Amino acid sequence: MSWVDLVTTFNLFTSISWILAGIVSAVISTLFLKKNPKKRLNQLFSAGFISWSLSLLFNGLNFAVAYSSLIAADIFRDLCVVTGVFSSLLLFVATIGIYFGAERLNWIIYLVFGAFGIAVSIVGLLNDWVTTDGLGGFKTTDNLLGKTFTQIIPAVFVIAGAIFLVLTYFSLENQLAKKRIGYFIIGFSTIILGLLMFLVDSLVNTSPYIFPSLAIVTWVTGPILVLVGFYVKVDASNEVTTHTIGKAETKTLDPKQNYNIERPS
């Protein structure tokens, strides 16, 4: 008897949809780096969304292998948790770079967030696991500690990143730059909407396919919208905006002077 004969319809749907979403998101993620691989913010956005796509992919694989090995399923689930946590942190650091300036990002910031990500991941994966769903299939489950560290904390960082983007938007005068940040905001908000879909799904008694399907759509749409923002051309020949402690300061560039100011491009 084949795996397809053993798997429940919902697990088959879940596995295929998450894996496809992860593949599509991974392709989109590489385009951030391809746009300008030397820019630090491009690197951060690309790394963040690659981690995001791996999280989707690993979660799909966890349902695919659960029928053969629950241990293997738990390993893929752990990888899903780790990549999901680091995705939210990388995207948050990218928004810090946008608001305060990429030149403010240094190895101390990366080290602090890296250590924090490892700590959150360890607590999360120790309190999140794969189990039978009582209907002949499998599901992921957790306790309050697991839910806090695998879902709530990453969601908080994505929301915080969206807030930094909103603050950046209202501090800008250049309309094209505002348009770019606007796409970033909508993209982040779409990802947040997907997170809320699973919350609604746990509270509303309806088809188990509806809200997970909508969540997956938003989680693929979000990176696409941010990528669209990257392709909005902003003329940097006249002025740039730098941010210091939440305040915007506009400087006119001297064409004879060399400025090392970075932004996503």
pLDDT at 7: 67
pLDDT at 133: 83
> How large a percentage of the chain has pLDDT more than 90?
64
Question: What burial letters (b/e) apply to 29-66, b meaning 16+ CB within 10 Å?
Answer: bebbbebeeebbbbbbbbbbbbbbbbbbbbbbbbbbbb
Q: Averaged over 142-154, what is the pLDDT?
A: 91
How far, rounded to the nearest angstrom, does the alpha carbon of residue 28 sit from its chain's CA centroid? 12
Q: Averaged over 162-183, what is the pLDDT?
A: 94
Q: Encode pLDDT of 1-29 as tens digits.
A: 444 545 688 888 989 999 999 999 999 99
Question: Above 70 in pLDDT, residue 256?
Answer: no
Residue 108 and residue 101: Cα distance in Å, rounded?
15
Residue 180 and residue 138: Cα distance in Å, rounded?
42
Closest among 117, 146, 101, 39 to 241, alpha carbons compared: 101
SS (H, E, C) 61-80: HHHHHCCCCHHHHHHHHHHH
- For residue 205, give the 3-state DSSP assignment: coil
Q: What are phi and psi of 240, to 5 degrees?
A: -130, 160
pLDDT at 243: 47
Q: 264 falls in which pLDDT band (50, 70, 90)?
A: low
Q: 191 falls in which pLDDT band (50, 70, 90)?
A: very high
Residues in the chain: 265
Q: Using an 8 Å Cβ cutoff, are 255 and 210 in contact? A: no
Q: Averaged over 106-125, what is the pLDDT?
A: 97
Q: Encode pLDDT of 54-95 as tens digits.
A: 999 999 999 999 989 999 999 999 999 999 999 999 999 999
Token code pair at residue 52: 């995001």
Q: Encode pLDDT of 123-147 as tens digits.
A: 999 999 999 888 788 888 888 899 8
pLDDT at 1: 45
Amino acid code (one letter) for 70:
L
pLDDT at 128: 93
Residue 203, C-beta contacts closer than 8 angstroms, at least 6 positions apart: none
Closest among 191, 185, 190, 194 to 232, alpha carbons compared: 185
What structural domains does the chain harbor?
Answer: 3-252 (1.20.1070.10)
Closest among 222, 218, 223, 220 to 20, alpha carbons compared: 220
Residue 167 and residue 153: Cα distance in Å, rounded?
21
Q: Using an 8 Å Cβ cutoff, are 35 and 265 in contact? A: yes
- Count of CB atoms within 10 A of residue 229's CB? 19
- For residue 132, give the 3-state DSSP assignment: strand
Instruction: Pick the more confident residue, 253 or 38.
Output: 38
Q: 257 falls in which pLDDT band (50, 70, 90)?
A: very low
